[in-house]
Structure 1
């Protein structure tokens, strides 16, 4: 037989006794007689099959089981209060929740800057920002886990709508003070003697980098393989080597003592926002797209003078 479900009143009585440490005070607080309260707690103990309180030297002392139960009760109580606040906020129309994802290239710098802009514009609500690998993007959208995903890779699916944000190029990231740091642009041949921190040939970055090297008749030689751009930036900061990244990933890298140098005639890197056209489109999607475009424009303008005809 399944355990009988506890009533809300039973939990309220238990919580009040635990808070006051006294049947007399608890009865007064709940507006009932002490004998009826004693009966109620005895019935709860019988239902659970354990003792919740013991009388020691005239004091009401909770058992270890009672302390464990209280911890769970308080957790649920706090969650219920949060839920109540959220429901009332939605009913008033003064709050909204916007959940979206991004892959590391855009999630490292472009997304934070876009969210900051939205806040400065007075966009209210709660944001949930999920970090995704490229292979998770399709399911994330199809199963409604988030409203949209920002990434530098396309998603080929008939129910996924792709919105272009901006196009930039690749940059070489080196530590400040590196011999290449003062250059306005570099070519793959300029990196041949460097320890290259780079990506596998089948990744989005790896494909773009190899495409750029092939344009110059060069072959990429990788000394350290990484999977995410934040690892590449961290390794460059430790002066393990240099790296080639998309320009979006390298935004404001100077704050970490790094310099991003445009690579001449590099492959184009496009930033996209993907949405599932089988689901209602949240207002936050369009606001995020606008903010991303405004932030990305500064990156593309910086690189405009460094690229030669492709």
Structure 2
């Protein structure tokens, strides 16, 4: 089975007609039709039903589509790597991180690395802030030395450990009615519009489970996948939310108020590593500095919670 036929199959799945597939691949419609015939002959199965000028994928085609997309994700990663090598040379520290830690924590950790190295040569660093799924995929493919991700996905195919497990903090604007309390109780969360993380987020599910015995269901105003968005909206007076304290730390100097929650709803950050791969000395050093930065961030947050 040649790669050209696989490209044709992908274009047909994306375009649903030989005309659109031909436009995507910059070839003629007869070339697409011939390529599809060869592919179906080699596969020994029908991949598309011809219906009213459209090509409707069979169940077998949809199953094959999943595997084909994985191949092209890998190809895209190779192209990215080639461009990176051409433009910047060999990267000595390739990092992937989900937004909760990638927007504030990782820059702080990199600043610590800069101070730590002093006059020593600076390693070529790449920091990619991505969804947890993309972090996991890049680590599994060996593109990243390691990554930080949420605990919402399967960890099959990677080595992993818990980087942090911290109780969430309630965030709100200055002057909010709940700001006068050192600790927010479950029933108080029902008193204000709530800025929630998406339902599939494990911390959202843990919060719902923890509130259930109290008969409390927050009045959700906005749902978002990003804790940073919750903090930004809380700053602008839209309501209150519950987020990872490391993320909240990025906003307290801008006036965000943080308070403890009287029940335990924790946020877990996973350290993901390529299976069986030994970290370089540079990666090991940076990981140690990340842990020091985490400890410092936790202490800073405790001062804001007093």
Q: Which TM-score band applies after superposition, normalised by the shorter structure?
A: 0.5 to 0.7
Rate the CA distance shift 1:267–1:284 in 2: closer, same or farther, 3 A.
farther
Contact 1:196 1:223 in 2 (8 A): yes
Q: State the SS of the aligned residue for 2:172.
A: strand
Q: Name the structure 1 match of 2:281.
A: 283
Once superposed, which parts of structure 1, at least 4 consecutive aligned residues long, lie more than 6 Å away?
A: none
| Structure-2 residue corresponding to 1:110 | 105
**Taking structure 2 as the reference length, what is the TM-score of the superposition?**
0.63
TM-score of the aligned structures, taking structure 1 as reference length: 0.62
Tell me what 1:5 maps to.
Answer: none
1:299/1:212 CA distance change after superposition, 3 Å: farther
**Does the alignment pair 1:120 with 2:115?**
yes
Alpha carbons 1:166, 1:293 under 8 Å: kept? no
Q: How many residues align?
A: 220
Q: CA deviation at 1:221?
A: 2.8
- Tell me the distance in 2 between the aligned counterparts of 1:293 and 1:212: 29
Partner of 2:15: none
Residue among 161, 181, 189 paired with 1:191:
189
Structure 2 unaligned blocks of 5 or more: 1-82
- Given the superposition, is the C-alpha separation of residues 200 and 154 from structure 1 closer, same or farther in structure 2, using an over 3 Å criterion? closer
Does the residue aligned with 2:112 lie in a helix, a strand or coil? helix
Q: How far is the alpha carbon of 1:174 from its aligned partner?
A: 0.6
SS of 2:293's equivalent in the other structure is helix
CA 1:137–1:214: 2 relative to 1, 3 Å: farther
* Cα shift at 1:169: 0.6
1:32-181 maps to which residues of 2 (within 5 A)?
Answer: 97-122=92-117, 124-153=122-151, 156-181=154-179
After the TM superposition, which residues 263-302 of structure 1 pair with which residues of structure 2 at under 5 Å, given as runs? Answer: 263-301=261-299, 302=301
Q: Which moved more, 1:167-176 or 1:247-256?
A: 247-256
Change (3 A) 1:105 1:208: farther
1:172-200 Cα offsets, whole Å, 9 max, x none, are: 11111222223222122112121111122
RMSD of aligned C-alpha atoms? Answer: 3.0
- Offset from partner CA, 1:128-173 (integer Å, 9 cap, x none): 1111112223321122221111123265434311132232111111
Q: Is the 8 A contact 2:148 2:271 kept in 1?
A: yes
Could you say which structure has the higher helix fraction? Answer: 2
